[in-house]
Amino acid sequence: MLAPSLLSADLADLKGAVKLVEENGGSVIHIDVMDGRFVPQISYGQPVVQCLRPLTKLPFDVHLMVEHPEEQADTFAAAGADWITFHHEACIHSHRLIQHIHDLGKKAGISIVPSTPVSAVSELLEYVDLVLVMTVNPGFGGQKLIPSCVRKISELTKLREERSLKFLVSVDGGVNASTLNDVVSAGADIVVSGSAFFNGSMKWENT
C-alpha cells in the first residue's frame, strides 16, 4: 500500500494534495505531526486534520512525532485520525497508550527511529496494528534512506510469521524509485513516500 506523506505536499493546496493521492494509487494518507521538541520542525495539528477529513474516505495515519503522545491521542482521534502512530522513544508507557488508542476505536501504530532496534518493541508486537520503521532520522523531508534500517523490516516480518501476529509493517524515509524495491523486497506492507510522490518521480500501481 502506498501512503503519501502530506509533509511534502504543497501546503497552500492540501485539498489538491488529497485529490492527487486519490488519483495516483494512494491507499492511506500519512500525516506527520511535529512539535518542534521531539523533532526540530513544527508542522500541522488537529485543526488541519479536521479540515481534511471531509475531503476523502481514505484512512488517515497520523504519525505523532511529538513528546508525550499520550496527551494528543484523544484530540487527534476526535479530529478524524483512523490510525494513531506514536514513537516508542517518546512514551514511557507504550502499552498503556496502545490500549487507550484502541479504546478510542482507532488502530494503534508504534514507530522506531534508526537508532532503536526492533527488540525494543518486541513485547508490544502482539498489541499493535502497525509498526513504522523510520529509515531516516525524523523531522525533515527529502532525506536519503539509511540502508542499514532496511533489515529491521525483514526482522519484523520474520517475527510476525514466527509468532502468528497480524501487524502491518510500514516504512518511512527516503523511499523513492531507486529504494522502493529494497523496502518492498524486505517485506514492507505500507510505503510512506513524501518528496518522491509529490514531485512525480515515483510511479505507483496499487495492487
Specify binding-site residues for substrate: 5, 63, 139-142, 172-174, 194-195
How much of the chain, in percent, has pLDDT values that exceed 90?
86
Res. 173: pLDDT tops 90: no
Beta carbons of 185 and 153 less than 8 angstroms apart:
no
pLDDT higher than 80, residue 141: no
Please determine, for residue 140, whether its predicted confidence score (pLDDT) is greater than 80.
no
Is 207 a residue whose pLDDT tops 60? no
Indicate whether 205 pLDDT > 70. no
Write out the binding residues.
5, 30, 32, 63, 139-142, 172-174, 194-195
Q: Which residue is catalytic, options 10, 13, 32, 61? A: 32
Tell me whether residue 35 is one of the annotated catalytic residues. no
**At residue 206, does pLDDT exceed 90?**
no
- The string of pLDDT tens digits covering residues 58-84 is 999 999 999 999 999 999 999 999 999
- How is 74-92 classified by DSSP, letter by letter? HHHHHHT-SEEEEEGGG-S
Give kind and range of the element (H or E) at residue 171.
Answer: strand 168-172
Side-chain-facing half-sphere of 108: CA atoms under 13 Å: 23
pTM of the model: 0.93
More confident residue, 203 or 147: 147
Rounded to the nearest integer, the mean pLDDT of the chain is: 94
From the list 35, 103, 172, 189, the catalytic residue is: 172
Q: Is 61 annotated in the active site?
A: no
Task: Determine the pLDDT at residue 204.
Answer: 60
Using one digit for the tens of pLDDT, what is the confidence trace for 3-55? 999 999 999 999 999 999 999 999 999 999 999 999 999 998 999 999 999 99
Of the candidates 169, 180, 168, 179, the residue with the CA atom closest to the CA atom of residue 205: 180
Q: What top-level class would CATH report for the domain 2-198?
A: alpha beta
